[in-house]
Amino acid sequence: MRARERAAAVAVAALVAFVATGAATAALPKSCPSAAVVNAALGQKGKTPKLTRSQYVVTCTYPGSGPVATKIEFETDTAASFTAGEKGAAALHPVKVSGLGKAAWTLQSGGDLDVFTGTESIKILSPFSSAAKLEALARKLL
């Protein structure tokens, strides 16, 4: 499965789980992490992020970070919907990450990291970044 298809499958599974459980509202960030912070952690050269906001999701897109732009999504979430999203990605072989938020998982091949903080999930999608680099960025965001 290509990186874009993998990211889309994970996002759809998480969205379906989120809508099905009716997550409570959390305080989502008002701005994106700076391009300097993201670039330093991932070793890329993304430009100033574009912020997109909806009621339950803040998406930060970093153009110029590679053939597929890096995205960081902050989403109001519950433990049940976060777990359902991980189960929805089972075909992609998610790997649990200990010591990061209340729960976290990534793909063995990298490119995607999901962290549950207790009231929101942080999803980092950077198809050409290793799991270790994604974890380093997540630690800076928490």
- In total, how many domains does the chain have? 1
Contacts within 8 Å (CB) and 24+ apart, 30-38: 32/58, 32/60, 32/72, 33/60, 33/72, 33/140, 33/141, 35/62, 37/137, 37/140, 38/62, 38/65, 38/70, 38/72, 38/137
Query: What letter does residue 50 receive in the DSSP assignment?
Result: E
Separation between Cα atoms, residue 38 and residue 31, nearest integer Å = 13
pLDDT digits over 95-126, tens only?
999 999 999 999 888 899 999 999 999 999 99
Query: Higher confidence at residue 123 or residue 6?
Result: 123
| Cα–chain center distance at 25 | 18
pLDDT over threshold 50, residue 18: no
pLDDT digits over 19-73, tens only?
444 444 468 999 999 999 999 999 999 999 999 999 999 999 999 877 899 999 9
Is the entire prediction scored with pTM above 0.85? no
pLDDT digits over 74-95, tens only?
999 999 999 999 999 988 889 9
Q: What is the pLDDT of residue 67?
A: 87
Name the residue range of residue 106's domain. 3-141
